[in-house]
């Protein structure tokens, strides 16, 4: 129980975790390569270094984050001192996905430990090499009645969900998110659900097309499009569509060469099932670039689809792969109609030089987070909470927000007994008029 009360113990545990990750960094990068040919550059940027920075920030701030926060008291309680205490929930379950398998298991784990919880982590079964390193690091760092990593498939996750938890933190798909929410409801267990959805990307007629294409291609080919915040589909103004598509093609070739299959900078689809789903999504579509694939290696090249029907499967589900549908529009109303035909997205991207349109978009649409004139980079700032809204998720984390997610905020009013103002006590008698005057004055 030391982890619950002793801040220094929590800090030492996180330092131990940091040392273990630093020791195994090369193995983690190798595991990610074995699991789905994740490029080393991306593994460092989005997995190991991301986690290491998160750990360092948490270690540095743990003392101040965990201190009771003094707040202004209410005059109605005069005299008092008022505080918010951060209390660990207790027994926490973390279930993580395969697409950023190290990052999305470790970052919630770091925060849960920092906040003083006991943790059970279930990493994804689809990245066995990375999950095995995670398990090794956890065993090396923590006592098993403090933190444990349980390797297993869906059946194991279902078994874990039958138990009672004090908090469940889930990252994954919308359908599984609903299963988690139902299981949690049985015991009124609080949850964070970090989910996905179709994130739109608008390119208007004022956009800097060359920069837009470069940043969209980057956000889409990262992890071979298997990123929850990847731009899912493009809405481009008719006037600039031709120029934009030409730039997209150019930028794909600049990044990955003429044959991306030969590039070491492009990951593979995670498994046969997901690869077959991608192939099904592009069937009978108007492929204007890419479309090359290899069933043996689960490869699919970055693929541009021109004007897909909004009724097609491609435009019904989150793509989660290197396919980019391009739909042209002429009026803002068309944009609105298409965006509003989906659930609230996890991310939203707008490329424009028109500040008024940017403001209009921000006030008109509800979504988790996003960028003006970039893609995915809002995740790089730990001062910004990251999470969805509606079907794209419940709750948000990163930086101090992560510590807060795993802490119950306990409100405490501390009073002395030397002064006891009698106004609030019955019998109320003639006090009603007096209290009305005081409340009006406050
Ligand atoms: P998934 O929902 O299939 O699986 C996630 C985890 O849930 C895995 O550990 C898996 O074992 C477990 N699981 C699967 N079925 C289950 C069930 N029936 N009951 C209990 N647990 C079950 O998701 P995935 O394929 O690993 O990841 C892709 C999805 O995750 C995409 O939709 C993506 O947008 C989303 N995602 C969201 C974020 C975010 O931060 N918002 C980050 C990454 C991925």
Distance, CA of 232 to CA of 210 (rounded, Å): 19
Distance, CA of 137 to CA of 57 (rounded, Å): 20
Distance, CA of 139 to CA of 316 (rounded, Å): 42
Distance from first CA to last CA of the chain, Å, rounded? 45
229-238, 300-309, 401-410, 431-440: least confident range: 431-440
Distance, CA of 369 to CA of 376 (rounded, Å): 9
Atom 12 in ligand 1: which residue has the minimum CA distance?
154
326 CA from centroid of ligand 1 (Å): 27
The confidence score (pLDDT) of residue 434 equals 87
Residue 402 has pLDDT above 80, yes or no: yes
| Cis status, amide bond into 271, omega within 30 of 0 | no
- Of the candidates 107, 201, 228, 371, the residue annotated as catalytic is 228
> pLDDT tens-digit profile of 311-329?
999 999 999 999 999 999 9
The ligand 1 atom nearest the CA atom of 153? 11
Atom 43 in ligand 1: which residue has the minimum CA distance?
228
> pLDDT tens-digit profile of 133-184?
999 999 999 999 999 999 999 999 999 999 999 999 999 999 999 999 999 9
- Of the candidates 42, 47, 194, 318, the residue annotated as catalytic is 194
172 CA from centroid of ligand 1 (Å): 3
- CB of residue 318 inside a 6 A radius of ligand 1: yes
Active site residue 228: yes
Locus of tokens 């481009």: 236
Percentage, residues of the chain above pLDDT 70: 100
Atom 39 in ligand 1: which residue has the minimum CA distance?
194
Residue 264 has pLDDT above 90, yes or no: yes
Locus of tokens 């499009």: 225
User: If you average pLDDT over residues 258-264, what whole number do you get?
Assistant: 97
Q: Which of 82, 88, 86 is nearest to 68 (CA)?
A: 86
User: If you average pLDDT over residues 415-439, what whole number do you get?
Assistant: 91
- What is the average pLDDT value for the chain, to the nearest integer? 97
Is 395 within 8 Å of 191 (Cβ atoms)? yes
The ligand 1 atom nearest the CA atom of 96? 9
Q: Which of 103, 121, 97, 127 is nearest to 43 (CA)?
A: 103
Q: How confident is the model at residue 229 (pLDDT cuts 50, 70, 90)?
A: very high
- CB of residue 66 inside a 6 A radius of ligand 1: no
Q: Which of 328, 50, 371, 361 is nearest to 229 (CA)?
A: 371
Residue 441 has pLDDT above 90, yes or no: no
Distance, CA of 86 to CA of 171 (rounded, Å): 23
Mutate-to-test residue for ligand 1 from 128, 156, 173, 378, highest number of ligand atoms within 8 A of CB: 173
Active site residue 194: yes
| Domains of the chain by start residue, with CATH | 2-195+389-410 (3.40.605.10), 200-381 (3.40.309.10)
Mutate-to-test residue for ligand 1 from 38, 46, 94, 97, highest number of ligand atoms within 8 A of CB: 97
Distance, CA of 217 to CA of 375 (rounded, Å): 9
Residue 4 has pLDDT above 90, yes or no: no
Helix (H) or strand (E) holding 7: helix 7-36
Q: Which of 312, 309, 321, 317 is nearest to 279 (CA)?
A: 321
174 CA from centroid of ligand 1 (Å): 8
């Amino acid at each position: 129980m030391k982890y619950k009360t002793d801040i220094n113990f929590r800090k030492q545990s996180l330092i131990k975790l940091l040392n273990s990750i630093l020791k195994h960094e090369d193995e983690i990068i190798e595991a990610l390569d074995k699991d789905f040919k994740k490029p080393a550059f991306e593994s460092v940027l989005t997995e190991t270094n991301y986690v290491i920075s998160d750990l360092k920030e948490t270690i540095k701030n743990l003392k101040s984050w965990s201190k009771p926060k003094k707040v202004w008291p209410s005059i109605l309680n005069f005299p008092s001192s008022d505080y918010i205490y951060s209390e660990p929930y207790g027994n926490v379950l973390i279930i993580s996905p395969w697409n950023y398998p190290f990052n999305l298991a470790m970052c919630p784990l770091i925060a849960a430990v920092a906040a003083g919880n006991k943790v059970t982590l279930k990493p994804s079964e689809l990245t066995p090499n990375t999950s095995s390193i995670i398990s090794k690091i956890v065993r090396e760092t923590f006592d098993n009645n403090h933190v444990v990593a349980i390797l297993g498939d869906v059946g194991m996750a279902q078994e874990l969900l039958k138990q009672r938890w004090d908090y469940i933190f889930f990252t994954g798909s919308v359908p599984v998110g609903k299963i988690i929410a139902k299981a949690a409801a049985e015991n009124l267990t609080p949850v964070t659900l970090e989910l996905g959805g179709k994130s739109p990307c608008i390119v208007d007629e004022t956009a800097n097309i060359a920069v837009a294409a470069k940043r969209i291609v980057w956000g889409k080919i990262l992890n071979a499009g298997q990123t929850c915040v990847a731009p899912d589909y493009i809405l481009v103004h008719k006037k600039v569509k031709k120029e934009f598509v030409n730039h997209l093609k150019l930028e794909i070739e600049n990044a990955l060469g003429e044959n991306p299959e030969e590039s070491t900078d492009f990951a593979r689809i995670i498994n046969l099932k997901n690869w077959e789903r991608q192939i099904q999504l592009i069937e009978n579509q108007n492929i204007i670039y890419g479309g090359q694939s290899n069933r043996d290696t689960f490869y699919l090249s970055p693929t541009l689809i021109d004007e897909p029907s909004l009724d097609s499967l491609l435009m019904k589900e989150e793509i989660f792969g290197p396919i980019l549908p391009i739909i042209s529009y002429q009026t803002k109303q068309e944009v609105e109609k298409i965006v509003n035909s989906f659930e609230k997205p996890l991310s939203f991207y707008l490329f424009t030089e028109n500040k008024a349109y940017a403001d209009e978009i921000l006030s008109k649409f509800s979504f988790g987070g996003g960028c003006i004139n970039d893609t995915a980079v809002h995740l790089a700032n730990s001062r910004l909470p990251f999470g969805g809204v509606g079907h794209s998720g419940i709750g948000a984390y990163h930086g101090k927000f992560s510590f807060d997610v795993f802490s119950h905020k306990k409100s405490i009013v501390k009073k002395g007994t030397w002064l006891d103002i009698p106004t609030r006590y019955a019998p109320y008698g003639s006090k009603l008029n007096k209290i009305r005057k005081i409340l009006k004055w406050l």
